[in-house]
Amino acid sequence: MSSTSFLTRPSPTITRVETILVDVPLKQRTITDSQSSVASVEFVQVKVETDAGVIGWGFNWNYTKGLKAVQVMIDEAYAPAIVGRPALDRHALMQAMNATTHFIGRVGVARVGLCAVNLALWDIQLKLEQQPLWRHLGPCKDRVRAYNTDGGWLSWSIDELVADMQRIIDRGFDSVKMKLGRPDPREDFERVRAVRRAIGDRVNLMVDVNTVWDLKTAVTWGRRLEEFDISWLEEPMHPFDVAAHAELARELDVPIAVGETIYTLHDFRDYIDRRAVDIVQADVTKLSGIEEWLDVAALARAHGLTVIPHTNVQQNVHVQLAAATPNAPLVECCYESIHDIWEDPVRVEGGWYTLPEAPGVGGKLTDTVLAEYRIG
Ligand SMILES: [Mg+2]
């Protein structure tokens, strides 16, 4: 039975929403940036069932603990708002879910729960259409260039940093990123110098502070790092301090990148209006889903800015979005040790992602992972 939809064609009706929480260990030693030490990654897997038999899968993630809160948000607020309604009326469903958490969740937990359901709703439509997301959107490229972050952890010694960067470059990557934010910025400086020396001038090098500097530190050390031809300085300061980023952008020549802790189109608008960002690192799993990511990308394009999406551990969705976004030339590659936890893992070879062919969004963990690592 299909239910009445805003569409002129019938839509399957949502019959059930189920969530599964898993905690997946990394298949490598613990990795560290200036904010987190990561030994495992939590995922909430959302399964949306319909009366047409089509099932949509969505997800969200966190690389520390606490995703149980997102699971509760979906189970108790979002699922009741959409069960019994047409699965293809996605904007209406998003509004209905948004309304349930109007007073307690404009960012953070509520927001990432919305995205998990949004991906599942898209998955249903794409499976009905029998095509992957990038083909639905209309591609402007047939593969997507990747940069690699897996070799640049703060917990690596300088020797380990240099060795890992070299291994990555030997695999065909021409762009690498490393973490900064040690208590003494002079150590950061030495580490960047060692890496730049080792990789030469022809490899793009980015640095990522994960928000721990204040403005004075960012101006001082951002300027000093410019001698190493840094492609961008990522998340130098608190992400809600747009004014500080605008001032830093005026002070430095190196492009400023932000986005992985920005949750709304409106917050990106403020960054862009104030010329506080050069590289827009919109992450679909922090925004409310695919529509909002596309809105941010369009806003950036209208201002002549580049979108380079942050990793969300999986990257299938971002690769597909980038393939259909003219101002998204590059996608982050990270957490490769657990790329095989997905049913349709996106492949990176020679520094390029290939586009997936399976219909849907590509956000389903394997049954083995869902069973073996289930915690809720
Ligand atoms: Mg980052």
Residue 247 burial (CB < 10 Å; 0-12/13-18/19+)?
middle
Mean pLDDT of 46-75: 95
Q: How far is the CA of 35 from the centre of ligand 1 (A)?
A: 10
Q: How far is the CA of 210 from the centre of ligand 1 (A)?
A: 6
Instruction: Return d(Cα 65, Cα 43) in angstroms, integer.
Output: 10
pLDDT category at 110 given cuts 50, 70, 90 is: confident
Task: Return the closest-CA partner of residue 191 out of 164, 172, 211.
Answer: 164
β 306-307/279-280 pair status: parallel
What is the share, in percent, of the chain residues with pLDDT greater than 70? 99
Best CATH choice for the domain 135-365 from the list 3.20.20.140, 3.20.20.120, 3.40.50.12590, 2.60.40.10 = 3.20.20.120
Q: How far is the CA of 243 from the centre of ligand 1 (A)?
A: 20
Q: Which residue has the higher pLDDT, 172 or 2?
A: 172
Q: How far is the CA of 16 from the centre of ligand 1 (A)?
A: 35
Q: How far is the CA of 306 from the centre of ligand 1 (A)?
A: 16
Whether 135-365 and 2-129 are alike in CATH topology: the answer is no
| pLDDT score for 7 | 77
Q: How far is the CA of 131 from the centre of ligand 1 (A)?
A: 31
Q: How far is the CA of 52 from the centre of ligand 1 (A)?
A: 40
Q: How far is the CA of 115 from the centre of ligand 1 (A)?
A: 19
Q: How far is the CA of 208 from the centre of ligand 1 (A)?
A: 6
| pLDDT score for 108 | 86
Q: How far is the CA of 233 from the centre of ligand 1 (A)?
A: 10
Burial annotation 261-300 (CB, 10 A radius, 16+ → b, else e): bbbbbebbebbbeeebbbbbbbbbbbbbbbbbbbbbbebb
Mean pLDDT of 38-67: 95
Instruction: Return d(Cα 72, Cα 75) in angstroms, integer.
Output: 5
Q: Where are the domains of the chain?
A: 2-129, 135-365
| pLDDT score for 2 | 60
Instruction: Return d(Cα 363, Cα 120) in angstroms, integer.
Output: 8
Q: What is the pLDDT of residues 198-207, one digit of tens each?
A: 999 999 999 9
Q: What is the pLDDT of residues 237-263, one digit of tens each?
A: 999 999 999 999 999 999 999 999 999
| Token pair recorded at residue 76 | 């108790």
Q: What is the CATH number of domain 2-129?
A: 3.30.390.10
Q: DSSP string covering 243-301, please?
A: HHHHHHHHH-SSPEEE-TT---HHHHHHHHHTT--SEE---TTTSSSHHHHHHHHHHHH
Q: What is the pLDDT of residues 175-226, one digit of tens each?
A: 999 999 999 999 999 999 999 999 999 999 999 999 999 999 999 999 999 9
Q: How far is the CA of 310 from the centre of ligand 1 (A)?
A: 7
Instruction: Return d(Cα 207, Cα 177) in angstroms, integer.
Output: 6
Instruction: Return d(Cα 267, Cα 241) in angstroms, integer.
Output: 11
Q: How far is the CA of 291 from the centre of ligand 1 (A)?
A: 22
Q: How far is the CA of 332 from the centre of ligand 1 (A)?
A: 9
Q: Which residue has the higher pLDDT, 162 or 64?
A: 162
Q: What is the pTM of this model?
A: 0.96
Q: How far is the CA of 179 from the centre of ligand 1 (A)?
A: 8
| pLDDT score for 273 | 98
> Residue 63 above 90 pLDDT?
no
What one-character DSSP code corresponds to residue 69?
H
Residues 6+ apart with CB under 8 A from 277: 245, 249, 256, 257, 258, 259, 268, 271, 305
Q: Which residue has the higher pLDDT, 313 or 34?
A: 34
Instruction: Return d(Cα 35, Cα 153) in angstroms, integer.
Output: 11
Instruction: Return d(Cα 7, Cα 23) in angstroms, integer.
Output: 39
Q: How far is the CA of 159 from the centre of ligand 1 (A)?
A: 22
Q: How far is the CA of 54 from the centre of ligand 1 (A)?
A: 35
Q: How far is the CA of 260 from the centre of ligand 1 (A)?
A: 6
Instruction: Return d(Cα 165, Cα 33) in angstroms, integer.
Output: 16
Mean pLDDT of the chain: 95
The continuous run of DSSP H or E covering 176 comes out as strand 175-179
Q: What are phi and psi of 144, to 5 degrees?
A: -130, 130
Q: How far is the CA of 58 from the centre of ligand 1 (A)?
A: 23
Please report where in the chains the tokens 């259409």 appear, as a residue.
129
Q: Which of 256-260, 270-274, 314-318 has the lowest mean pLDDT?
A: 314-318
| Token pair recorded at residue 195 | 């890496």
Instruction: Determine the residue type at 92.
Output: A
Instruction: Return d(Cα 334, Cα 313) in angstroms, integer.
Output: 6
